[in-house]
Structure 1
């Protein structure tokens, strides 16, 4: 079964509101083995809506429409659907009675706009909206289906979850789709693709891979799609095993696990304590670590030493080191790590110092340069990275790099 998603609203096209509905619907449909071919957005205008429906139904078996079902004049989805189907509008008393039941306890009088919500295109099957006044609607049309739902996310989700998805799950034409995501860090997507090219080229025709890059991370989503679930699961497991064996040093987990979650599990398993010393990231590494419940079992704290004076006072960075190499140097972050180990009384520490931007930097140390050190008194590892000119991206990128350096360092501890 093939589906398309049509979202309606000027506010989506001008970027005033982010379309989270389409992403959520895509996830739920894919989980049922329904292929989502395309997602398009059109304005609150009759012509584009009608053309959007026509376009979607040429490509798919079912089109899911959200938006434009409210009581105001710009909500014209129902009339557009009626025109596309070539039918009139009819009053539905059950919808009116439901609206009355919703407003009666609050002593809110019904208006003509509320009554207008009860006029629906003919031949409709109503999908009850338990979270609002505008009903979901479904039509059978020339062997295909049109579904229209409110654009309010919690209303759409209620209709999908309670009414539509259980029906679609009974469709005999849907495929089985299985996914497994391998989480990696430490190498870019093109390099990973080159490294596993021969493996991917040898995948069964029912198995595919997608490379989903992030900041200092790449998700490898492997998909198996077909008719026999047990056979597909075997093919998926084999593909995941082959890829993981090839890039084992990059893999930190599966599906939705984060670097900080993986690091927490590793440190707790080994009985290690951790501390951070941050300059340019301003506590972002600490924020990521402490965003995970249970981090207090291994994470002791952080020293945010944004200025050189505090680097010296709190972490014991030598004035001559700062003078000779500058605050953005591997020599300084080494001394920051040593100071953090003592100040925070931890087994392992990480330190970062750099130029987050957009101002600052030099020819030798441009914006996006960040020095990172990880280690103990006995063994230190340092690295200098270069990112972009965007401050927030530089901070996020450097923080993820630091977490991955910590992960790889902890792996050495038995």
Structure 2
């Protein structure tokens, strides 16, 4: 059974907002054995919406539509659907009472335009929306369900969770689907593919491998379809174990997670503390870590020492080190890491200094050159990287590289540890 998601709104097409609804809906449908055939975004234009519906109806068994259910003139979804389904709109008394109660509670005057929120497709079953004014609708058209929901994420999620998913679970034709994701680091996508080529080539026809790369990290996702979910889980775990053994030191976790989460959990479990000393990354490494719940148990703080003066003042970098070797050097990041470790009184410290770009480089130290040091219990490891000219990407790659170096040192000093599900 396959579904198509259609998101309606000019704001999506011009990049004013990011379509997070489709990703969330896809996750929920995959979990109950409904595959996504396609995701389509369309403007608030009736003709475009009808074309999208017509094309989707030819390739999907279920259509889910979000957006354009508001009361203003630019919200044209209901009127367009009435044309597509060749039906009228009716004002639903239960929805109207709900909308009126919302305005009464907020002591706001209710206009006719607000009452129109209670207008639903005559052919539809109302999917009641307790958390908003725009109801969802379920329409059976040519033996296919069309599920219409508001575009406001928390309203859509409420309707999906309370009204749609329980009903979809009752549909016949759903095939068990299982995703098993692994995390790898410190190896490029092409090198990783070459390393596991024979395992991938031997996969059975009902299991597929996907590569999901980002700077410094590649996720591997095994997707299996079949008749029995438990059998699929067992099969993918067996293959995951083969991949884990082949990948070796580049294997990070046997689940869909992030490197910063793996590090947080590792350090929490061992009572270890971390600090960062950042120059070209501008605090990005600290941001990645402190975005995680519970990071306060293992992260002490960060010094963003952009100037040489702050490197000396906060991290005890020597003036002669900067004069002799410069800010972007192995000697400087080593002293930065040791200074952070000492001054923050932590077990481990990361230091990064580089030329993020797009200018500021020299023939000897080009744009994209980054030095990273990690201080641990038994010493300091350092490494230089040469990235590209894009500033944002250089910061992201530097952060990922620094975290992977920390992970390697943690394993070397604390003993191997891998997460598994």
TM-score between both structures, scaled by the size of structure 1: 0.93
Change (3 A) 1:301 1:32: same
1:108 and 1:307 mapped to 2: Cα distance? 54
Residue number in structure 2 paired with 1:11: 11
For the Cα contact (< 8 Å) 1:368–1:386, is it kept in 2?
yes
2:360 and 2:166 mapped to 1: Cα distance? 57
Change (3 A) 1:319 1:163: same
Q: What is the DSSP-based 3-state SS (H/G/I as helix, E as strand, rest coil) of the residue aligned with 2:249?
A: coil
Q: What is the DSSP-based 3-state SS (H/G/I as helix, E as strand, rest coil) of the residue aligned with 1:17?
A: coil
Residue number in structure 1 paired with 2:139: 139
Residue number in structure 2 paired with 1:227: 227
Residue number in structure 1 paired with 2:172: 172
Q: What is the DSSP-based 3-state SS (H/G/I as helix, E as strand, rest coil) of the residue aligned with 1:373?
A: strand
Segment of structure 1 superposing worse, 387-396 or 268-277: 268-277
Written as runs of structure 1 = structure 2, the 5 A alignment for 1:375-394 is 375-376=375-376, 378-394=378-394
For the Cα contact (< 8 Å) 1:33–1:174, is it kept in 2?
yes
Q: What is the DSSP-based 3-state SS (H/G/I as helix, E as strand, rest coil) of the residue aligned with 2:97?
A: helix
Change (3 A) 1:384 1:131: same
Residue number in structure 2 paired with 1:191: 191
Written as runs of structure 1 = structure 2, the 5 A alignment for 1:112-261 is 112-261=112-261
1:245 and 1:184 mapped to 2: Cα distance? 12
2:267 and 2:249 mapped to 1: Cα distance? 17
Written as runs of structure 1 = structure 2, the 5 A alignment for 1:327-346 is 327-346=327-346
TM-fit CA distance, 1:332 = 2.0
2:346 and 2:105 mapped to 1: Cα distance? 60
Change (3 A) 1:123 1:347: closer
- Gap runs ≥5 in structure 2: 415-421
For the Cα contact (< 8 Å) 1:338–1:377, is it kept in 2?
no
For the Cα contact (< 8 Å) 2:322–2:332, is it kept in 1?
yes
TM-fit CA distance, 1:294 = 4.0
Q: What is the DSSP-based 3-state SS (H/G/I as helix, E as strand, rest coil) of the residue aligned with 2:151?
A: coil
Segment of structure 1 superposing worse, 334-343 or 69-78: 334-343
1:318 and 1:129 mapped to 2: Cα distance? 63
TM-fit CA distance, 1:191 = 1.3
Residue number in structure 2 paired with 1:267: 267
For the Cα contact (< 8 Å) 2:219–2:256, is it kept in 1?
no
TM-fit CA distance, 1:222 = 1.4
Change (3 A) 1:28 1:336: same
Q: What is the DSSP-based 3-state SS (H/G/I as helix, E as strand, rest coil) of the residue aligned with 1:134?
A: coil
Residue number in structure 1 paired with 2:30: 30
2:295 and 2:118 mapped to 1: Cα distance? 53
Residue number in structure 1 paired with 2:417: none
2:189 and 2:218 mapped to 1: Cα distance? 6
CA deviations 1:75-123 (Å, max 9, x no partner) are 2212211221222333433333332333334444443323433333332
Written as runs of structure 1 = structure 2, the 5 A alignment for 1:74-113 is 74-113=74-113
TM-score between both structures, scaled by the size of structure 2: 0.91
- Gap runs ≥5 in structure 1: none
Residue number in structure 1 paired with 2:285: 285
CA deviations 1:221-252 (Å, max 9, x no partner) are 11111221121111111111111111131122
For the Cα contact (< 8 Å) 1:374–1:380, is it kept in 2?
yes
Change (3 A) 1:332 1:226: same
1:251 and 1:400 mapped to 2: Cα distance? 15
For the Cα contact (< 8 Å) 2:278–2:352, is it kept in 1?
yes
Q: What is the DSSP-based 3-state SS (H/G/I as helix, E as strand, rest coil) of the residue aligned with 1:160?
A: helix
Change (3 A) 1:45 1:267: closer
1:148 and 1:58 mapped to 2: Cα distance? 18
Q: What is the DSSP-based 3-state SS (H/G/I as helix, E as strand, rest coil) of the residue aligned with 2:239?
A: helix
Say how many residue pairs are matched.
414
Question: Alignment RMSD, CA only?
Answer: 2.2
